[in-house]
Amino acid sequence: MQYSLDSLLSITANQNTLDTIGETIVISLDDYTRNQRGDIGSHVRLAALKGIQQLCGVLPQLKIETVLLLVGKTLQQGAEKILRVREEAARTLIAIRVHKNLHPDMECLFDLFKIKDDSRESFKQIWISKWGAENMFPAYSKLLKLKSFQRQILQGLIVSAGDLTQSLSQNAFKAANTFMDECEEEQLETVLDHICSLWDEKPALLGKPMLKVLEEFLAREYFEDVEESKKLEEIFELCIKYTKAKDSQNAINAISCLNGMARMDVFYERAFARFKQLLANKKPFIRYQTAEKLLQNYEILSITRDIPASVTQALRETDWVDDSKDIDFFKETSKAIISQFLQAA
């Protein structure tokens, strides 16, 4: 990409060529191809970030929609899990800053970062290293308020929140939670819309981390004020779907999400109808995890619903991983337990 851009930009490129280059870079920044060596798509994303730096001289000639996507995708890479990609995103932002007047959200972005055109090279290097060291994640709680970049930033944070590296996951969650703590109802609807569209477009990349993020958001009851949202309905259906996943961790995380949604009146009965099936699942670990999640949820649900305490005894005393019992035993046990939850609907 780098050499082809050099040759293209060394001649007088027409508008169509520039638009094509910009759009190609946008697509390249979403390359997450993986093989046995890992995230080989990161090499493409690194080249794309360098491509933006080369493109900066003609950035004002691009369509503003393309410019905003390029900036948003750069911020997305700055929030993701590979150190060298985050640092390259920082270099790209430094290069873009001279064009901050192209859009109000770009002005807000660079005003927040306080990077000036005359900043010393040593200062820039320190700033870049901060991105690599995960020190810029707190800024993302404010960056998420910029509508032009919110979807791309959310994707970056979701990817990092689902990572196994504890510090990275915690930093991403902290940024997202700080933003969500301050969200108004209208903003929550927009976030839900982004979650649905991202999940629909990139299930392979975002399925697992999305469930982890949703579990956190639902535990913090961020969506209580919008429980009638059509987008939340879509998320509920996706959670039902993922409880059937072949990947055991996805299934367990989906059960946790369903558990959180069961606290909302609109999903209560349907969630427990699914729990009834899950407690009688052929896989012992699914039965066990469902019982554990229901026990955790009982303490919260019993505050507002008249659920008999006997259900907790049945959930605890049943050996959900006992393969010597046939599936009919678990069906009958599940039916008895869930009926008590449903009587409190």
- Domain range list for the chain: 1-148, 262-345
In this predicted structure, the answer to whether residue 3 has a pLDDT above a threshold of 50 is no
pLDDT score, position 307: 93
**300-340 tens-digit pLDDT:** 999 989 999 999 999 999 999 998 999 999 999 999 999 99
State residue 3 phi and psi, 5-degree precision. Answer: -70, -35
pLDDT score, position 11: 46
Distance CA 215, CA 208 (A): 11
Distance CA 253, CA 158 (A): 14
For helices 2-9 and 15-28, the axis angle rounded to 10 degrees is: 170
pLDDT band at 88, cuts 50/70/90? very high
pLDDT score, position 200: 95
pLDDT score, position 12: 53
In this predicted structure, the answer to whether residue 119 has a pLDDT above a threshold of 70 is no
pLDDT mean over 28-34: 92
pLDDT score, position 113: 81
pLDDT mean over 75-95: 95
pLDDT score, position 153: 97
pLDDT band at 8, cuts 50/70/90? very low
User: Residue 31 burial by CB count (10 A; 0-12/13-18/19+): exposed, middle or buried?
Assistant: middle
State residue 263 phi and psi, 5-degree precision. Answer: -75, -10
pLDDT score, position 124: 83
In this predicted structure, the answer to whether residue 286 has a pLDDT above a threshold of 90 is yes
pLDDT score, position 38: 81
Kindly list the distances between the CA atom of residue 261 and the CA atoms of 161, 162, 197, 326, 327, in Å, as whole numbers in the listed order.
20, 20, 19, 30, 27
Instruction: Annotate 225-248 with b (16+ C-beta within 10 A) or e (fewer).
Output: ebbebebbebbbebbbebbebeee
pLDDT score, position 164: 84
In this predicted structure, the answer to whether residue 166 has a pLDDT above a threshold of 60 is yes
Q: Between 270 and 345, name the one with better pLDDT.
A: 270
Q: Which residue has the tokens 């905003």?
A: 68
Give 35's strand partners.
38
DSSP E strands, the chain? 34-35, 38-39
pLDDT score, position 120: 73
pLDDT score, position 118: 54
